[in-house]
Amino acid sequence: MRAQRRNEVGVTLIELMIAVTLSTIIVAAGFATLTGGYKATRVSNLVADTQQNARAAMDMIAADLKTAGFGMVPSGNGMIPQVGACAIGGNAEPIVPFDNNPAGADTGPDRLSMVVPTTNSLAAPLWQLTAPSGGPGISNLTLLPAAVTAMQAAVAPLPLAGSLISIGGVTTATIGGVAGGVLNLNPAIVSPWSPGAPTQVYLLQCITYQVIPPPDANVVCGQGNAPCLVRGVAPVGTLDCNVLNSPCLPITNGIEDLQLAYACDGCSLLITNNNGTPDRIIDDQNASLTFDQGDYISNNTWAAAPGVGQITPNTISLVQITIVAREAPQNASQDQGFGEGNGRATSTNAPLVLPDHNHANGVFAAGDLPAGPAMTAYQQLRRRVLTRTVALRNVGN
């Protein structure tokens, strides 16, 4: 019995090794699961941030496009006024497309300028006025002084004098000067409102959206943190925000590309279904007898007057917006894939090709892709592509 008890006490070396091996396997599996879960959560957050940047950019551009051209109605001289630099060939335009290469595929992001009305109708100070009825020679508009101050802040650092306003969306006027809460108009206008009726005042601005690719030599994105999407009143004559001391401000980081395509009604005399006459039907650009992607124009020289092969912006009915957003490089440095290895993940296998454009050509130097160090850097950043079509409400017929 004593010998039997000795055999039952403790474990053998083999049993101990088996137990240690099993414990190691269990702990390793637990760490692998924990590491994978942590990395998956981190990657999900990075992807969500990238997606949110794309949505924020898309929502802002779409909102401005829906109001583009509002208030551009003939003023006292019967002419449609030019708002800022929004013009083509000397003609005022509610929307001014810009393609890097009108003759073919693009080599960089598109940009877009449009007349955008700004007002405040939801919170004080309201940009509203009450004025006497009719009669020629209305030269002074009285608003709350705080409303005029808010208008000045909206156009800063430019002066408010010389800016265009829309009164109730009915008539357009030029601000000649400001005195307290009074806007002095030059020339005077005919009042379009009834006695005692509050009338909304809209400040009209020519707003440009533009992607600033790296290297950000002019530091438009702030600390050279390109790429980014900027918005602002671009300099007259160029409508280019990528300049020193740019008046345009960055609104979303990580936006690598902006591609715009346009569907129009009555674009050109070459379109046989309406011969250049608007008929409330999108022009059949590719003669497919149906509305499809081929009816969108992505590369074109925009004209001030219609003609054979020429297209004017005031015939645009739909704008198709495509945005490419990437994760921030500082976040990408934390992205080591989903496994336990610490090697950088390959998140974008090949350069993204949009309908008319290899967007990587606007981000990396020509010739760096599809091989070389730039391709490696390109692949290690996660990207999201977002496309939306917006119907214009105040442009065209």
**Distance separating alpha carbons of residues 171 and 351, to the nearest angstrom:** 48
User: For residue 146, what are the contacts with CB-CB under 8 A and spacing of at least 6?
Assistant: 124, 125
Whether 367 has a pLDDT exceeding 50, the answer reads no
Domain span at residue 75 reads 49-391
**Distance separating alpha carbons of residues 366 and 361, to the nearest angstrom:** 6
pLDDT at res. 43: 67
Structure tokens at 311: 């297209």
Q: Is residue 18 part of a domain?
A: no
Whether 368 has a pLDDT exceeding 50, the answer reads no
Q: Is residue 147 part of a domain?
A: yes
Whether 196 has a pLDDT exceeding 80, the answer reads no
Burial class (CB within 10 angstroms; exposed 0-12, middle 13-18, buried 19+) of 31: exposed
Nearest to 312 by CA among 97, 142, 136, 113: 97
How many Cβ atoms are within 10 Å of 57's Cβ, its own excluded? Answer: 25
Q: Is residue 2 part of a domain?
A: no
How many Cβ atoms are within 10 Å of 303's Cβ, its own excluded? Answer: 16
**How confident is the model over 342-362, as pLDDT tens digits?**
556 666 777 777 777 777 666
Q: Is residue 5 part of a domain?
A: no
For residues 143 and 152, the answer to whether their CB atoms sit within 8 Å is no
pLDDT at res. 303: 77
pLDDT at res. 129: 81
User: For residue 31, what are the contacts with CB-CB under 8 A and spacing of at least 6?
Assistant: 340
User: Measured in Å, how far apart are the chain's first and last C-alpha atoms?
Assistant: 108
How many Cβ atoms are within 10 Å of 353's Cβ, its own excluded? Answer: 11
For residues 319 and 258, the answer to whether their CB atoms sit within 8 Å is no
Stretch among 95-109, 128-142, 205-219 having the lowest mean pLDDT: 128-142
Q: Is residue 33 part of a domain?
A: no
pLDDT at res. 308: 59
pLDDT at res. 45: 74
Higher pLDDT, 128 or 331: 128
For residues 154 and 125, the answer to whether their CB atoms sit within 8 Å is no
User: For residue 216, what are the contacts with CB-CB under 8 A and spacing of at least 6?
Assistant: 224, 225, 226, 227, 228
Which stretches of 156-226 are assigned E, i.e. beta strand? 164-167, 171-179, 182-189, 199-212
How many Cβ atoms are within 10 Å of 248's Cβ, its own excluded? Answer: 22
**How confident is the model over 262-287, as pLDDT tens digits?**
988 887 666 666 666 777 888 888 88
Residues facing 263 on adjacent strands: 318
* Most confident of the ranges 2-6, 121-125, 166-170, 390-394: 390-394
- DSSP H helices, the chain, are 2-8, 13-67, 145-155, 329-332, 373-379
Residue 289: pLDDT band (50, 70, 90) is confident
Domain count along the chain? 1
Q: Is residue 325 part of a domain?
A: yes
Q: Is residue 397 part of a domain?
A: no
pLDDT at res. 113: 94
Nearest to 352 by CA among 329, 332, 321, 325: 325
**Distance separating alpha carbons of residues 99 and 77, to the nearest angstrom:** 33
Q: How many CA atoms lie within 13 A of 340 on its CB side?
A: 7
Q: Is residue 315 part of a domain?
A: yes
